[in-house]
Structure formats: structure tokens, C-alpha cells
Amino acid sequence: MCCDSDCKCRPIGWLLGLPFALLALLVSLVGIVIWIVGQESDPPTPLSFSPFSISISHL
């Protein structure tokens, strides 16, 4: 951060990062909706649920 009196503030980094931040927010919100809808339609059984396992039947 610039603290000198002759320093000009240039928000180019913020402006370049803003679209990517908004895109990340949008993707995470869509992921949350898919996660909630997926949980309500197919609840996992307590013994077979593992967040790191991939079931062949869902592919």
C-alpha cells in the first residue's frame, strides 16, 4: 500500500480481480443449491456415506 504523498492510487488489480471474484461467488452459490437439492432427493445412509467415495452407480 502506498503511503507517500506523491503516490497515485491505481485500482487496476482490484478491477481485474473483481470479475473472477464474482464468478467464484456465482459458482459457489450454484454448487450450494445443487448440494442442497441433491441431499433432499437422495439422502445417504449413515453407513455408506463418505465424502471422498465415488459410486459407480451415479456415473
Question: Is there a domain that residue 52 lies in?
Answer: yes
Question: Is there a domain that residue 6 lies in?
Answer: no
Task: Give the per-residue pLDDT at 28.
Answer: 96
Question: Is there a domain that residue 7 lies in?
Answer: no
Question: Is there a domain that residue 40 lies in?
Answer: yes
CA–CA gap between residue 40 and residue 59 (Å, rounded):
19
Tally of structural domains, the chain: 1
User: What domain range includes position 20?
Assistant: 12-57
Read off the C-alpha cell for 45: 445412509
Write out pLDDT tens, residues 1-37. 555 566 666 688 888 899 999 999 999 999 999 888 8
Question: Is there a domain that residue 36 lies in?
Answer: yes
CA atoms within 13 A on the CB side of 7: 8
Task: Give the per-residue pLDDT at 29.
Answer: 95
Burial class (CB in 10 A: 0-12, 13-18, 19+), 16: exposed
Question: Is there a domain that residue 5 lies in?
Answer: no
